[in-house]
Amino acid sequence: MFDIKWIRENAEAFDRGLKNRGMDPASAQAIALDDERRAILGKLQDAQARRNAASKEIGKAKAQKDEDTAQALMAEVADLKGVISTGEDDERRVDQTIETLLAALPNTPLDDVPVGADENDNALVRTVGEPPKFDFAPKEHFELGEALGLMDFETASKISGARFVVLKGALARLERALGQFMLDVHTTENGYTEVNPPLLVRDQAAYGTANLPKFAEDLFQTKEGFWLIPTAEISLTNLVRESILDESDLPKRFTACTPCFRSEAGSAGRDVRGMIRQHQFAKVEMVSITTADKGIAEHERMTAAAEDILTRLGLAFRTMLLCTGDMGFASQKTYDIEVWLPGQDAYREISSCSVCGEFQSRRMSARYRPSEGKGVHHLTTLNGSGLAVGRTLIAVLENYQQADGSIVIPEVLRPYMGGLEQIEAPAT
RNA sequence: GGAGAGAUGGCUGAGUGGUCGAAAGCACCGGAUUCGAAAUCCGGCGUACGGGCAACCGUACCGGGGGUUCGAAUCCCCCUCUCUCCGCCA
């Protein structure tokens, strides 16, 4: 959500941001509406001031038994009533129009974000680790999992339909191990507080992170009106909604491992096989709440925390700086981390870390009191996956597969697997 | 599912028609006192919008919307949310 004052003072930057995202400029319309609002407000306030003054005089006149004066003043106030009532209606209407306009506009990309149309214009930031070499043709994760008899799409579809999976035995445990490992690293080494948040949220929470009103079709909704979270970003970021924090309490860092639910409307035909794109998946989310001047540093820190998980798992990856056309709605700047998948012979997204500036906090009314100076300011919010657990499982299977179909367990996960060193080859 | 209570400033909490943007306490800020600190005392301390170079002025805001009234935190209606008790359930 934009601040209309900021748009007034930075109309050019605002329109450039929209243009870079492939949208039409909107500053002229927004400012015109705001001009209208100010004009209405001026008239309304004059009328209200006169009414307030007259009402006081009426009180005085009545106290002095000056009935004539009181009657005259009352007539005047009666006239003002219509002006005030119309003014209030007009103001509400214009406010609503402005709100609707602004709520549908995406955040302004930072200056160092490459301008581009789609993922082909993303910039490579770094490549870390070497893709493993195989002396056989590496399989895709679903081939491996199904051969092990521990990954069952058929049964899942009987229960829930397409885009669901049943994991069993060592694979079910591997998913749990991955989530635990990630949480342990983030809580003990990266300063994040573990949270077990609600998975069903209200309109206002989803609006706060800007999943609503524009992206309702991507979400599942219960018949009572709750939204199933598509990411714990919603729950964790809204932890600070409608509050005023002290700057000395910042930054706040939250992490959670939760199921995520996505309708995947509009992605029909994409990644139809396997666990890459599911209606339900586990993800460890990181959310940081800080001040505007610390946002960029926090963004780098968060991205490093996500990358560190991959490094420890011995998985090769590359980090991309998303271009303007590929960035999320609320983001000012986003890094995607892509893990190497031998079975697909490709890098695939496994984490996305974004800094959102004040875009979400304005929607949530989340503010802080600066240690120096006065007033309150909006917080800066960041979110990132650290990591998508389901896709990490895929990466482990494909990168650690052996010729016989067995899977070596990465060292760091073994304590979480009861010491298990590998998932045995399928019986032949 | 049934019954009831409530929503006031950063927090707690008074306030049932004008003198209320709102008592008091806490928290916070400044000062006095002290070698320093605690305690104590004095003073300050809401948000948003509009106008003004500024000091400052105006308007709105006591959950949201509507109504009554010359005038509403206060009375009436609707909505939203929160809590309590009973029942049911993990």
pLDDT tens readout for residues A215-230 = 999 999 988 889 999 9
CATH number at residue A33: 1.10.287.40
Q: Given pLDDT bands bounded at 50, 70 and 90, which one contains residue A414?
A: very high
CATH number at residue A411: 3.30.930.10
The residue ranking higher by pLDDT, A319 or A67, is A319
Cα–Cα distance between A85 and A44 in angstroms, integer? 9
User: Percent of chain A having pLDDT more than 90?
Assistant: 67
The residue ranking higher by pLDDT, A308 or A83, is A308
Point out the least confidently predicted range of A42-46, A181-185, A395-399: A42-46
| A63 has pLDDT over 70 | no
The answer to whether residues A87 and A180 belong to one domain is: no
| A300 contacts A262 by C-beta, under 8 angstroms | no
Per the structure, how many domains does chain A have? 2
Between the CA of A376 and the C1' of B41, what is the distance in angstroms?
30
| A229 contacts A196 by C-beta, under 8 angstroms | no
Using CA atoms, how far residue A30 sits from A27, A97, A105, in Å, is 5, 9, 11
| A26 has pLDDT over 80 | yes
pLDDT of residue A246: 82
User: Percent of chain A having pLDDT more than 70?
Assistant: 97
- Nearest nucleotide by C1' from A77 CA? B70
The answer to whether residues A304 and A391 belong to one domain is: yes
* Backbone region of residue A169 per phi and psi (left: phi > 0; alpha: psi in -120 to 50; beta: other values): left
Mark out the alpha helices in A189-294 (DSSP H runs).
203-208, 233-237
Is A324 contained in some domain?
A: yes
Catalytic residue among A351, A367, A391, A398: A391
Rounded to the nearest 5 percent, the helix, strand and coil shares of chain A are: 45, 20, 35
pTM of the full structure: 0.92
Residues A141-151: what's their mean pLDDT? 96
Point out the least confidently predicted range of A72-86, A87-101, A132-146: A72-86
**Structure tokens that stand for A256 in this block:** 């959670």
Place of tokens 């007259």: A54
Catalytic residue among A50, A202, A277, A318: A277
| A186 contacts A286 by C-beta, under 8 angstroms | yes
Domain ends where: A103, A134, A169? A103
Catalytic residue among A351, A352, A354, A385: A352
Distance of CA A280 to the CA centre of its chain: 17
pLDDT of residue A264: 92
Catalytic residue among A50, A194, A349, A406: A349
The answer to whether residues A148 and A238 belong to one domain is: yes
Q: Given pLDDT bands bounded at 50, 70 and 90, which one contains residue A64?
A: low
- Nearest nucleotide by C1' from A243 CA? B10
Strands (DSSP E) contained in A138-269 are 151-152, 166-167, 193-194, 200-201, 227-228, 243-246, 252-261
Residues A197-206: what's their mean pLDDT? 92
Concerning whether A277 is annotated as a catalytic residue, the answer is yes
Q: Cis link prior to A114 (omega < 30° from 0)?
A: no
Domain ends where: A51, A72, A103? A103
Between the CA of A181 and the C1' of B90, what is the distance in angstroms?
29
- Nearest nucleotide by C1' from A45 CA? B59
Place of tokens 């160092």: A112
- Coil, strand, or helix at residue A116? coil
Is A111 contained in some domain?
A: no
| A60 has pLDDT over 90 | no
pLDDT of residue A235: 94
End-to-end Cα separation, chain A, in angstroms: 58
User: Structural domain of residue A289, as residue ranges?
Assistant: 119-423
pLDDT of residue A263: 94
Cα–Cα distance between A271 and A273 in angstroms, integer? 5
Is A141 contained in some domain?
A: yes
| Nucleotides, chain B, CB distance < 7 Å | 10, 18, 47-51, 58-60, 65-67, 70-71, 81
Between the CA of A4 and the C1' of B11, what is the distance in angstroms?
31
Name the residues contacting strand B (CB < 7 Å).
Answer: A 3, 5, 34, 38, 41-42, 44-45, 48-49, 51-56, 58-59, 62, 74, 77-78, 81, 85, 88-89, 92, 202, 244, 374-376
Provide the ipTM: 0.82
Concerning whether A349 is annotated as a catalytic residue, the answer is yes
Residues A386-413: what's their mean pLDDT? 97
Is A109 contained in some domain?
A: no
pLDDT of residue A65: 66
